[in-house]
Each structure stands twice: as structure tokens, then as C-alpha cells.
Amino acid sequence: MTDSTLSLHEKDQSKLPLEYRTEEGNLRIVGFWIFLAAELVLFGTLFGSYLVLQSHTAGGPGPHDLFEIGPVMAETIVLLVSSFTCGLSTLELRRHNKKGLIGWLIVTILLGLVFLGLEINEFYTYAVNEGAPISRSAFLSGFFVLLGTHGAHVTLGIVWIFGILLQLGKRGITAVTARKAFITGLYWHFLDVVWIFIFTAVYLTGLVM
Amino acid sequence: MSENQSHTVKRQRYGFPWKQVIGLFLSLALTFLALWIAIGLSLPVNATLTIIVGLAIFQAFIQLFMFMHVTEGTEPVHQLLGILFGLFVTFAVVAGTLWILAYAL
């Protein structure tokens, strides 16, 4: 580290959280932010197409006919609370409390699984019971692609956090596992940010218009 | 730096996680406020949409600052610039798409 021009002084470095203490950890975290910026653009394109296609229901059911606020609020609250428990896991990481970190991460993926269950149930209700599958109209194509992309990200997040849990159990909190746990946390919070906009731009907008 | 170099770490204690709890309550409050404005109030459609989008942006900032620690790191300006550029492109894509294809702006 001492031969790198980017490295900090020993004194400054020791004040930083563990995941930032190596140059590699630092760069990987910045790199992950750049990845999130690209993800933002990906979701932006899906939001743009959904909002344009929203009114193109081809005589089929529209947002107002399909959306029910109860299940949507349940999904929203579960995901918000999971983001909170994920925040607590980062806090326990900063306290170097391995048990707390692992515990809150387990709660986070359990809440993630509940969210996925609710979402799959919602998709099933629309596609099978309400006769509104992805192929029914442009509105439903846009809806299922946007929501499905988010759901696929949540699924990946659950698998990813599970993998990090195994590593934490095996190796404990090191500079490397701390960085990995912090980055999965960033990913999970990002998914919550996307959901906030889905809640607003898809569900609430659909009920208002 | 070797990948798996182990650091001996000491357990540290801090107080109650105020930041996280405040973040959660603000998020829940903003969500229910947006719901109430959309369903409970019967404001004009454009006013409702403007307010709920504003609330969503505010809530996204809560996530960024209270949970994601966007200003942390040795040189946070790098990630801030990256995220700002991402936001700019996203805004251009969404607003441009709506403007051109839906005349909605």
C-alpha cells in the first residue's frame, strides 16, 4: 500500500470503515456506484417505455381495472423494512459485530423472499385470474417487463446476499468480506429506490389517471 | 493487498441506530402521504402527479444519504459524479421519451 500514490496516510486510514481501508476496496466500491448509475439508466428506459405504453390497453384491462392498493402497499412496506434491516446490517458491520451483521442480513433476505412471494402472487392473479398476461396489450408488456426486471434484480440480490452470508460465516469480518457485505447493501438499497419509483409512477399514477 | 488478508478486528459499541430508524419512519410516512394524496385527496391529476413524484424523489434521497452513505469513502466525489451523470441520463431518457412519444410534459 505504501508505494501507491492513491493510498492514504496510516492515520487517516485507520479512521475509515473497514471496507474503505484498502485501495482495492475503495476502488471496487466506487466501481459499484458506477454500475448502479448504469442500472439507473436501464430502469429509466423501462420507465420511459412503460409510461408511454400505459394508455395502450388494446381494449383489455387498464391500470385502474387491475391494480389493488392492498397487495401493493404490502409489497412496498416489506421492501422498505428490508431496506431498513439491510441498513442495520451495515451498521453492525461498522461495529464489527459478526452475529448482528449475519442476523440482519438473514432478516433482509427473508423479507426479500416475502416480497417476491407477494409479487409472484400479484403476477399470477393478473395473468391467470384477470386474463391480463404479458401478451394482452402494450400496457401489460411494459408493466411485466418493468416489474419483472425489478423482481429479477431482487431474486439476484437474495442469491447474492446468501452467498455473502456463507463467506461471512466462514471467514468472519475481514477487509474483503466487509467490502462485499457493504456492496450488497448498496445493491439492496438501490432496489428499494427503484421500487419507490415503481410505486409512484406505476401504481399510484395508474390509480390517479 | 492480497484478496483474503485477515484483519483482527475489535468489537465497537455505539448507541441506538437513530439514522436508520429515522430513515425508515420518513420512508413509511412519505409512502403513506403519497398514497393519501393519490387516493384520499381529489386534487387535479397534474397537481397530484407533481406532488407524488416530488415525494418519491425526496424518499430516494433519504435512501441515498441515510442508508447508502453516498458521501462516504476516501474520494466520494467520484461516486457522486457517477450517480449524478446516471441521474442526468435517466432524466433525459424518461422526460425525452414522454415529451416526444406521449406529449405528456
Say if A1 falls within a structural domain. Answer: no
pLDDT value for B12: 42
CA B27/CA A93 separation, integer angstroms:
23
Instruction: Please indicate whether, in this complex, the C-beta atoms of B66 and A87 are within 8 angstroms of each other.
Output: yes
Instruction: Please indicate whether, in this complex, the C-beta atoms of B9 and A96 are within 8 angstroms of each other.
Output: yes
Instruction: Please indicate whether, in this complex, the C-beta atoms of B102 and A52 are within 8 angstroms of each other.
Output: yes
Please choose, from the candidates B67, B4, B81, the residue with its C-alpha nearest in 3D space to the C-alpha of residue A22: B4
pLDDT value for B2: 40
Q: Say how many CB pairs under 8 Å bridge A and B.
A: 177
CA angle A183, B60, B13 (to 5 degrees): 50
Distances (CA, A) of A87 to A31, B9, B23: 20, 21, 9
pLDDT value for B103: 73
Say if A190 falls within a structural domain. Answer: yes
Say if A10 falls within a structural domain. Answer: no
pLDDT value for B68: 85
Instruction: Give the domain extent around A71.
Output: 15-208
When CB atoms are compared, the residue of B1, B19, B64 closest to A1 is B1
Please say whether the beta carbons of A116 and A158 come within 8 A.
yes
Indicate whether B102 pLDDT > 90. Answer: no
pLDDT value for B105: 55
pLDDT value for B10: 40
When CB atoms are compared, the residue of B23, B35, B78 closest to A30 is B78
Say if A83 falls within a structural domain. Answer: yes
Instruction: Please indicate whether, in this complex, the C-beta atoms of B9 and A18 are within 8 angstroms of each other.
Output: yes
- From B98's Cα to the closest Cα of chain A, the distance in A is 6
The chain B residue lying nearest A23, using CA atoms, is B1
When CB atoms are compared, the residue of B39, B52, B63 closest to A193 is B63
pLDDT value for A14: 67
Distances (CA, A) of A39 to A58, A185, B63, B83: 30, 15, 16, 10
Please say whether the beta carbons of A190 and B67 come within 8 A.
no
CA A191/CA A66 separation, integer angstroms:
24
pLDDT value for A12: 63
Question: How do residues A76-120 score in pLDDT, each as one tens digit?
Answer: 999 999 999 999 999 999 888 999 999 999 999 999 999 999 999
**Chain B interface mutation, best of A1, A23, A27, A30, highest count of B Cβ atoms under 10 Å:** A30
Question: How do residues B9-47 score in pLDDT, each as one tens digit?
Answer: 444 456 788 888 999 999 999 999 999 999 888 888 888
Say if A6 falls within a structural domain. Answer: no
Say if A2 falls within a structural domain. Answer: no
For position A117, which CATH number holds? 1.20.120.80
Q: What SS3 state is found at A21?
A: coil
How many distinct structural domains can be found in chain A? 1
Say if A5 falls within a structural domain. Answer: no
Which stretches of chain A score pLDDT less than 50?
A: 1-7, 11
Say if A168 falls within a structural domain. Answer: yes
Q: What is the ipTM of this complex?
A: 0.83
- Alpha carbons within 13 A on the beta-carbon side of B41: 17
CA A7/CA A29 separation, integer angstroms:
15
